[in-house]
């Protein structure tokens, strides 16, 4: 039973991913929607037949999940900056380890120190 379920899910993922790839590759004319990648995120602008924007700007539904990834990246960068600042301001002292010369033995192990 689990083999059938596994095979069915694998085929379902393969078919849906192929359909999404085909849907994203469809070329659009000047009239319709244009997806813009701006500094604040990805937005969709609706255009008329002359290519003029008509109506408000919307968040692109295909790329809406990237906004969550951006929020995680900002948190990760902020925590990295705080960590680096604590490392920079920590005083460092040199550790003095005395060097004790060892004498080699003819029948000793090769790497005995």
| Residue 56 belongs to a domain | yes
What per-residue string of b and e applies to 51-74 under the rule 16 or more CB within 10 Å gives b?
eeeeeeeeebeeeeeeeeeeeeee
Per-residue pLDDT, 112? 58
pTM of the model: 0.30
- Would residue 67 count as lying in a domain? yes
Largest CA distance in the chain: 92
Domain membership flag for residue 99: no
Helix (H) or strand (E) holding 8: helix 2-24
- Residue 61 inside a domain? The answer is yes
The phi and psi torsions of 31 (rounded to 5 degrees) equal -85, 135
Task: Say yes or no to pLDDT of 33 above 70.
Answer: yes
| Stretch among 15-24, 86-95, 98-107 having the lowest mean pLDDT | 86-95
Evaluate whether 47 touches 54 at the Cβ level (below 8 Å). yes
Domain that holds residue 13: 2-88
**Spatial distance between the Cα atoms of 5 and 11, rounded to a whole number of angstroms:** 10
Task: Note whether residue 83 is domain-resident.
Answer: yes
Tokens coding 42 = 């990805």
**Of residues 48, 44, 74, the one with CA closest to residue 62:** 44
Q: Flag whether 36 is in a domain.
A: yes
For the record, the structure tokens of 97 come out as 């380890």
pLDDT level of residue 61 (50, 70, 90 thresholds): low
How many structural domains is the chain composed of? 1
**In this structure, are residues 63 and 35 in contact, taking their beta carbons and an 8 Å threshold?**
yes
Residue 95 placed within a domain: no
Instruction: Give the range with max mean pLDDT: 25-29, 60-64, 80-84.
Output: 60-64
- Residue 109 in any domain: the answer is no
């Amino acid at each position: 039973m689990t083999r059938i379920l596994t095979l069915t899910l694998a085929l379902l993922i393969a078919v849906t991913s192929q359909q999404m790839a085909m849907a994203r590759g469809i070329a659009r004319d000047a009239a319709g929607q244009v997806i813009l990648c701006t500094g604040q995120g990805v937005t969709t602008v609706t255009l008329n037949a002359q290519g003029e924007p008509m109506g408000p700007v919307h968040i692109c539904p295909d790329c809406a999940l990237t906004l969550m990834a951006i929020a995680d990246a900002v948190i990760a960068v902020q925590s990295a900056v705080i960590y680096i600042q604590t490392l920079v301001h920590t005083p460092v002292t040199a550790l003095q380890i005395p060097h004790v010369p060892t004498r080699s033995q003819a029948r000793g192990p090769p790497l005995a120190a």
